[in-house]
Chain A
Amino acid sequence: MKKAFTCLRFLFISFTFVRFCFPSFVNLLDAGRLRDASDLIVVAQVSNIVDGSGTIYSDPTTSYTGHQQTVSITLLRVLKGSITAESLDVIHFIPDAPSGSQEVEKGQLGIFFLSTLTDTAWAPADQDHFILPARPGAPSNAGSSDALLAELIQVIASTDASSTDRALAIASLRSISDAGVSASLKSVLSSSDPLVFWSAATALFAQADSDALSTVQSRLIQPFTASDAPYTQGLQAALRAESTNPKSLPTLAALLASANQEVRRGSAAAIATAGGPIAVSTLPGLLTDQDSQIQYFAVWGLGRTTNQPDQTPSYPEFQANRDKYILYWQSQFPISCAADVTSQFSVSRSGFRLDLSTGRFVQSVIISGSPASKGPFVLALDNLNSGLFLYRSDGTTSCASPSGSPYVIVSASETWQANGTVVLTLEFTDPTATGITYTPRILGGNANR
């Protein structure tokens, strides 16, 4: 049985029916839904478009003006259904108002999703998404036994395709669980095209793919570039889906130290949703976070994990009584901060050199001593110039004041090798090349940093 789309069939003045609805709210782009809703799916090329005269269409509450288009397409491949003709006409309605309705142009190649209109004419199965991108040739390396998926995978893999076509293909496959699709999405995680990269990454996150999360961990921790920024707003929602995969939890915990708010929110939400030991070990440290939503996820997650519904507020309730909930959970999970044990070590730093292959500045730091305190030990870089970033940091201080200092692990064990010396190589991203300054601080112990 075909799944019905939200939009009703509207009566044309010519007494023919098409599916039509006015955006801007449109049907969800989903290849699976489109396939179910279609009688015929073909890869075809638009050979001609004939605009009809202006007309009015009505539903029970509203009238719309627009034009009927007859789109003639030449069939290249049939992916669903049966048809012997080499071409066909699609009756398409274009509203006058800027509605976000999908358009086609002459010569356009794509996958058309069609439903029967009359004995001789077809209509879009979904007015909002009746064509998806395709490539001229049939998929040579299918990547999937499903013909439709294979066509879309081919688009994703094609570097000749536009980034929006590739992103549309990815978006249409977001909810498809298929090994070939997953492999295709992972293959473009190395793409330099930010739209393609983030489309693939968020689609994989939404499917709780822990491998993808690990692969892009570093990019998620580092500050987003200007070209990344337009595509990363929805990371929070995508990352939260990783909560269902236990393998993703350590990576999510590490992402709490990200320089990007969306990533930190998504990681906090995921860990709060997952609950369990990792929630108890990480969420108390977020109670003092400067971001209200992250604080909320800490409260909510601790309430759920410890089964204290009275202390598990909704977000509006939390906003109205923030201090009450924060204080309560701080009393339940008192936080001790790692001690400043810098005085027990000697720290010597080299100068900086520019690694031309990476574009990052490199510095060696030698740490030695015979500390009385227990490890592990980390080196925090306090007061690092704004606009500079420590590459591959292991976290950021949030408990041991000052907060916000990036740190790297010096020694992961509790025991410091007697009279031992550790040499660290630090790398800095310095887009402004204005000089790098910071104050070293060594923190000891397993407490929150």
Chain B
Amino acid sequence: MQHRNWLYNQFTLHQQRGRKTVASGCIPNEFFGLLCRTMLITRAMVLLSLAALAAFGQTGDDPCQAYADVKGWIFSFSMQANGTAIDELKTTKYTIQHSGVVNAPIDTVRTESTIRGPNGEVYQAVFQGHSSSHAQVDDRTYYLDFPPAWKLDEVLQGAGGNDAAYDVNPNTFISFQPGLNSSCSSIVTFPDVNYPALYSSLEEKGWETIVEPFQWISAGFFQAGQTSILYGSATALLDWLPANSDPASTPPKITRNLTVSQTYAGGGPIIWNFQWTLEPIPGCGGTKPTITGPSEVWWFNGETPPNYDTEITLQATPASSCEHQWFIEEGDNLAAFSTQSTGPQIDLVSLGASLKQGDVKVRVRRNGVVSDPFPVTVRTPNSLDMLAPAINLKSEKYGYITAINFLILDQFKVRLTKDIPTSESWTSDVVADTSSFPSVSSSWFDRPPEKGGIAFGGIIEENVSGALIANSDPAPLWRPLDSAHKDKVVHWGRMVTVGSQTPGDGVPVQEDIVQLFQDHAEILDLNPANPK
């Protein structure tokens, strides 16, 4: 009885607010579109037409619409576009800035969005369903489940002109958490058998007339916890998912053979019976896409050396001709799509270095189903590590040549193993060390030019010489390293960069001091806390 009275009240409301242009506001799908039209007539006709729904199968072309009533409702979601929540008087209450989790103010009343479909048609989707928080409106508790990822290919048009004020950069996404869904579709969960959920299609887009539900569906029609996904982006779909199913892992299916009947036991509620069969959506497949491809990409501060991919290609599998909507869920400051693609492949280019393993997370949505995040790590050269042992060679010309090897390590202290261009540049003039030798001849100040080279196998080999014996004071000489003296002669500052042979280009990995002693050379780290 409760359900029947409640339905009646809603229809009364509907009648009070008029019936203008209802048809244009109906959901373009087999079920609700017809429901919507049917309800314009009378309650009795609605009930009758429900029983005949399966026979029609008409598809509308109007925007799909719904709304969320979030009065007094604190919700949070993360979004990667600018959006606006508005109150009943169309006053902007707050603006959601770019990414991050945003808590809507407690006095937020409604949110609205309008989404254009692939052919420019306007879809509007606002949702009422389950979320981790809930709102108490009148005598009912509402739950909300936002779809997590709407691709916003175009600037959204606000209903009624400026109600929705999304300022959306193409190729960005609004991400709502939790839950997963596709554009112009919604997830509605019936969390509690005691509270009904609402589907609404609006004939007008202005807020003042929004509460014109064509149909209330009480939880009594469905099992508690049951979830439905309404209408896809291109075709009108009505999909029902099993209770407690994960929309991300359960592919949407077309509802077929829907039949509706009712049971009314005198004095009790009207019991609506829905029966249907589900079939995969043709053409696009309905399985959850999986991303495959390299899990690592390199960053060299804009350089693109061979052997190290600074751009990788990710692939959505299994193959599908559906439109793919790729998005970077986390780490868009570390990587970006180098090209926009709605195909099953996307190219990802590095922008910066990862701080943690897999801190770039990529997803793809296809046919309303979103993949698991695909983690990518952006590796970059970060430091050098000496490879033992140094060898001090005799030199007839320069006294000595000290041969020193370094491994190049990434930010996780894992070595680079393939050939890579490197370079050194000087960060100071040559400075005499007068503690051992009060006067140093100019020949000791004759250092090699800044230069680059290839670190074969990721190993830098450098030979550091003394000064020309013939012209030098003090004269360079040679001793084995284990009996070498520590008589400093000159030193200078140096920066080693990796990724280019052009001095200074690429990623700096070590700032150090080239120290020439009278009988050998050493590379001294500027940072004693991080000895090489």
Contacts and interface: CB of A to CB of B under 8 A. Distances in A.
Interface of A: 5-7, 21-30, 33, 62, 64, 94-103, 105, 128, 163-164, 167-168, 171, 175, 194-195, 198-199, 202, 226-238, 240, 269, 273, 292-293, 296-297, 300, 303-304, 309-317
Contacts of B412: 300, 312, 314-315
A237 B386 contact: yes
B353 A314 contact: yes
B121 interface: no
Nearest to B384: A237
B453 A26 contact: yes
Interface stretch (B12-20, B266-274, B443-451): B443-451
What are the 6 closest A-B residue pairs judged by CB atoms, nearest first?
A100-B463, A234-B388, A231-B389, A98-B465, A314-B411, A309-B357
Nearest to A197: B389
Contacts of B210: none
B468 A98 contact: yes
B7 to A, nearest CB: 49
Contact of A234 (B405, B452, B481, B530): B405
A332 B357 CA distance: 18
Contacts of B383: 315
Interface stretch (B70-78, B181-189, B393-401): B393-401
B433 interface: no
Interface string B461-477: 11111111000000000
A96 B442 CA distance: 13
Nearest to B359: A309
Given A25-B452, A233-B390, A100 B462 contact: yes
Interface of B: 353-359, 375, 377, 382-383, 385-398, 401, 403, 405, 407, 411-415, 422-424, 446-449, 451-457, 459-468, 480-484, 501, 514, 529-530, 532
Contacts of B422: 25
Contacts of B413: 269, 293, 296-297, 300, 315
Contact of A237 (B415, B467, B480): B415
Contact of A29 (B449, B461, B483): B461
Contacts of B514: 24
Given A100-B401, A231-B482, A195 B356 contact: no
A297 B413 CA distance: 9
Nearest to B458: A28
Contacts of A227: 482-483
16 contacts: A24-B451, A24-B463, A25-B423, A25-B460, A28-B405, A98-B448, A98-B466, A100-B464, A164-B480, A167-B389, A171-B391, A195-B389, A228-B482, A230-B481, A297-B413, A312-B356
A114 to B, nearest CB: 20
Contacts of A22: 448-449, 451
A101 B397 CA distance: 10
Nearest to B387: A234
Contacts of A24: 424, 448, 451, 462-465, 514
Contacts of B394: 164
A28 B18 CA distance: 85
Given A23-B448, A27-B456, A316 B355 contact: yes
Contacts of B501: 6
A94 B395 CA distance: 12
Contact of A235 (B354, B388, B452): B388
Nearest to A3: B456
Contacts of A27: 453-454, 456, 461
A7 B413 CA distance: 29
A63 to B, nearest CB: 9
B456 A231 contact: no
Q: Give the most central of A62, A105, A230, A304: most B CB within 10 Å.
A: A230
Contact of B390 (A100, A101, A163, A230): A230
A196 to B, nearest CB: 10
A231 B404 CA distance: 11
Contacts of B466: 98
Given A26-B453, A234-B385, A314 B354 contact: yes
Contacts of A28: 405, 455-457, 459, 461
